[in-house]
Amino acid sequence: MIYIDLPDILKKFGNSMGMELAFDKEGLCTLLLDGETPVSIRASEEDGTLTFSAVLRDKLPDPLSYAALLDLLALAHDPLSQGGNSPVAGLDEESGFLILYEVATPSYLSKTPAVEIFTLFMETYEALAALLDEPVEASQAAFGSTMLQV
């Protein structure tokens, strides 16, 4: 098992973002980016992981473009093809929210600065959010005529 100094990683992460991160007793910290995007960071001392999560949409778009479906499915497959440690999108059954999350393992955190992992997570978030914001017609024109009706 790889040992990491999670408190030190979190301190460096906060410093690199110009802030001091405040975690509650359950290891949760929520940042409000651009004044509108809440991003949760959960630090687990138990297994040494950092989990980033953010709500992409409060419900799955209907209709969902074929391009968006392909990107969501590719994200679901990325952790398998890349050995884990990449963002994944999923539908929260309880709330119905479309969530993007990433679990950074101790092995990943020992090689990659948390701020870099977070930056890539947010780039994925922004790209998916933009794709989900595209009118279905624009996406349809770019990626063919197949549409998924949810």
pLDDT in tens, 16-50: 989 889 999 999 999 998 888 999 999 998 999 99
Could you tell me if residue 149 is inside a domain?
Answer: no
Could you tell me if residue 1 is inside a domain?
Answer: no
Domain span at residue 117 reads: 6-60+77-134
The fraction of the chain above a pLDDT of 70, given in percent, is 85
pLDDT at 4 over 90: no
CATH number, domain containing residue 48: 3.30.1460.10
Q: Full-prediction pTM beyond 0.85? A: no
pLDDT at 144 over 70: no
pLDDT (average), residues 110-131:
92
Domain count, the chain: 1
Are the C-beta atoms of 42 and 27 separated by less than 8 Å? yes
Task: Using the structure block, give the residue that is written with the tokens 């093809």.
Answer: 81
Task: Using the structure block, give the residue that is written with the tokens 């040992």.
Answer: 3
pLDDT (average), residues 104-132:
92
Could you tell me if residue 67 is inside a domain?
Answer: no
Rounded distance between C-alpha atoms, residue 110 and residue 4, angstroms? 7
